[in-house]
């Protein structure tokens, strides 16, 4: 177990380094100069700025140094949790992210709650029902939820609940009432994926010998579901938790833009447009840290859901779950 944890920690460190390095290279390959954009007011459409002032700003942010020196300096500072100052605003990057993070965390937490509750309920209803037309209807809903663009869903919800029925604030709401619509918008595609993968996992687990034997002994379907089927069937859905985490982080950028919410998504959008390298790198590293933490937690939860994983080292069962989850996601 200790060796396994050490390997996972090493993989997490490698992912963090790769994410930081990739973002550094991509940002520095962009043709525009972030200092010039900031000095001209962003977008390069302002009045010309004195070149001496630009050179002074480049020296202040270390952008006049060789690329390898900038990389090593930025990497060393990032290890210490110091991402420097925002080129666009001069604010410390950690402060900028810290101010935006609570709003995004609240949004994603509520969206995840809606997605899990809705996805599990839909999957159980689709699997448990014996009515053919109802089963067909329920199983057709997840692909529809996956295929609808997030921004389109947000605009429809705004039109109905904010402008037509006036039940929720249209833009910029930060309380619970102002968070429900953005959370539902963000939750719909996530919940659809959860439902789709969980339906496949439940149907596969129902065909396992231990479930068939329990039914043959006279146990009710609900009892077998609770005692034998639910936990192993959840493994494929748990396997794609990393993908869902990425969808939540990426979707928050779109949702916060549609609903004009302040958060990490809006901060990311602004930083990318301004080529604010320190802010973008800080957000990328934070996202990568969340991603690897979720995946590590998922790996540690596997043996609790299926005892076969603890007994076999998890290779066969988790590989089967990953194949099933990948097949469902590809079909989506």
Residue 136 structure tokens: 């067909």
Q: 9-48, pLDDT tens digit by residue?
A: 888 889 899 999 998 888 888 776 777 776 665 444 455 6
Asked if residue 130 lies in contact with residue 231, where contact means CB atoms within 8 angstroms, the answer is: no
The two three-digit tokens of residue 3, written as one number: 């060796």
**CATH 1.10.3720.10 assigned to 93-306:** yes
Q: Domain-by-domain residue ranges, the chain?
A: 1-80, 93-306
The answer to whether the predicted template modeling score (pTM) of the entire model surpasses 0.85 is no
Answer yes or no: are the C-beta atoms of 194 and 247 closer than 8 Å.
Answer: no
252-293 pLDDT, tens per residue?
Answer: 888 988 888 888 988 998 888 888 888 998 999 998 888 888
């Amino acid at each position: 177990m200790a060796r396994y944890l050490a390997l996972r920690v090493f993989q997490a460190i490698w992912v963090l380094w790769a994410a930081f390095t990739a973002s550094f290279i991509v940002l520095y390959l962009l043709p525009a100069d972030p200092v010039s954009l900031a000095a001209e007011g962003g977008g390069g459409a302002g009045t010309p700025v004195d070149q001496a002032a630009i050179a002074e700003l480049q020296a202040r942010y270390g952008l006049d140094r060789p690329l390898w020196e900038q990389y090593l300096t930025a990497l060393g500072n990032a290890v210490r949790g110091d991402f420097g100052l925002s080129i666009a605003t001069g604010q410390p990057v950690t402060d900028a992210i810290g101010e935006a993070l609570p709003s995004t965390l609240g949004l994603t937490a509520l969206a995840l709650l809606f997605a899990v509750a809705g996805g599990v309920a839909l999957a159980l209803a689709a699997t448990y029902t014996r009515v053919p037309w109802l089963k067909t209807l329920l199983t057709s809903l997840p692909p529809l939820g996956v295929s609808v663009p997030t921004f389109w869903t947000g605009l429809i919800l705004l039109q109905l609940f904010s402008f037509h029925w006036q039940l929720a604030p249209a833009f910029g709401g930060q309380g619970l009432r102002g968070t429900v619509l953005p959370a539902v918008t963000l939750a719909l595609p996530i919940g659809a994926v959860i439902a789709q993968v969980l339906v496949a996992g439940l149907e596969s687990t129902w065909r396992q010998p231990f479930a068939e034997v329990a039914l043959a002994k006279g146990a009710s379907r609900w009892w077998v579901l609770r005692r034998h089927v639910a936990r192993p069937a959840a493994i494929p859905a748990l396997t794609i938790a990393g993908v869902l985490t990425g969808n939540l982080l990426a979707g928050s950028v779109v949702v916060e833009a549609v609903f004009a919410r302040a958060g990490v998504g809006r901060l990311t959008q602004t930083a990318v447009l301004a080529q604010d390298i320190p802010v973008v790198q800080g957000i990328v590293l934070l996202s990568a840290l969340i991603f690897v933490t979720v995946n590590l937690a998922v790996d540690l939860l596997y043996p609790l859901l299926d005892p076969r994983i603890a007994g076999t080292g998890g290779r066969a069962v988790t590989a089967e779950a990953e194949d099933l989850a990948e097949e469902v996601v590809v079909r989506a």
